[in-house]
Amino acid sequence: MLRKSLALLFMSIFMIALVACGGDDSTEDAGGSDDTTTEETGSGEEGEDTEASGDGGKLEIFSWWTGAGEEDGLLALIDLFEEKHPDIKVENAAVAGGAGTNAKAVLATRMQGNDPPSTFQVHGGAELNESWVAADKMEPLNDFYEENGLMDKFPQELIDMVSKDGNIYSVPVNIHRGNVMFYNKAVFEENGIEVPTTLEEFVDVLGQLDEAGVTPLALGDKEAWTATQIFENLLLATLGPDDYRALWQGEVGFDDDRVREAAEYFKTILGYVNEDHASRNWQDASQLVGEGEAAMTNMGDWAKGYFSNDLNLETNVDFGYFAFPGTTEDFMVITDTFGLPKGVDNPETVKEFLNVLASVEGQDTFNPLKGSIPARVDADPSKYDEYGTDTMEDFKNNNLTPSLAHGSAAAEGFLTKANQEVNIFVTQQNVDQFIEKLQQIAGDL
């Protein structure tokens, strides 16, 4: 019976990933690129495996980091590891394309076939815990955390996101924030707009910009997750962090009046987005803001790298940022993590890599290139720009909440259906139907 259940789980993951692979050509939702190539890249010199730290051999690092910035960060991390362990051969088994879904499909096949990579990228939260941990495919890392003094190096709320039933299963390497608004400073200044901090102020600002003939909010929901991200931030604003988390535990129902309030705000906000939103991805929407054709956009802070690196805009000169209205004291977390799969031949070598990945040096090597901030609270702020240092402070001091849109708050079965219902809602904007459908799929939590 257990084997049958596991087989059904892996088949479900595989089929969801295959469907997603055929859906778009956008970049990865947490800041990565969907290259047009599908060739795996490699790192390290060819040669025979040798012993290291009592184990040695080859280390295969599986991810979907193949785009600009993220690939640079990964390669720098690999270089750092090879400097410390020159006798271990590293294979960079990154899989490009499909906004990460190509990699997830390959991973599902390998895990089902008992051929796990040495370690692999996975979002902390439900994507880790309700798939690979629930399927008994990961080794606990409690002793690793204790031996390396990590228990106080990450916020407890973050450790909770990579834990299940009292065991810790992965190491966070980075943090992205999902509840960020980016705005064109010139557009705000020309129209006398003050940064809104509440949902009421936000709606007022949307109306002022609309009356001024400016597209108030840029949205690119060619992929449904971008609209889901707006809705999750509205849920956080209306429910507050404690009940937002309780929603995904089934302790607060989708028939709660505050969930309906979030849906009503969602409907109002959708009245102020660009008409061509369905044909745009998040970069296209961000470009509207960068060029002054739209005033602002809600996007994870990988958009900051897009503004700076792709559009050559200067932070707090050409564009600014603020927390999604109503969530100024909250931090919607997206974190990439790596763990130790069961059945690998070289667990001690994997732990050596996880130790580098978890270190201040490793995190400060990777994150400035990736455009994210470190998951550790004791990283060096001098290595990060103004946005990075602001975000690091918020990460330390704000309420941390898991993102639905990026796989941390709820299991993949719920997220897939929620994205579908959000997509329908964006088109039809029927609040009663939306709430009813969310209640129906809540069983998947």
Q: What are phi and psi of 399, to 5 degrees?
A: -70, 125
Please list the ranges in the chain whose pLDDT falls under 50. 1-55
What would the pLDDT profile of 380-429 be if each residue is shown by its tens digit? 999 999 999 999 999 999 999 999 999 999 998 999 999 999 999 999 99
Against a cut of 0.75, is the pTM above it?
yes
Residue 348, both tokens: 């001690």
Burial class (CB in 10 A: 0-12, 13-18, 19+), 113: exposed
Distance of CA 312 to the CA centre of its chain: 24
Identify the pLDDT of residue 445: 72
Domains of the chain listed by start with CATH number: 2-175+336-396 (3.40.190.10), 177-332+407-444 (3.40.190.10)
Residue pair 219/303 in contact (Cβ under 8 Å)? The answer is no
Identify the pLDDT of residue 295: 98
Identify the pLDDT of residue 57: 83
Identify the pLDDT of residue 26: 37
Identify the pLDDT of residue 98: 64
Give me the helix-helix angle, 70-84 and 347-358, nearest 10°.
120
Rounded distance between C-alpha atoms, residue 433 and residue 425, angstroms: 8
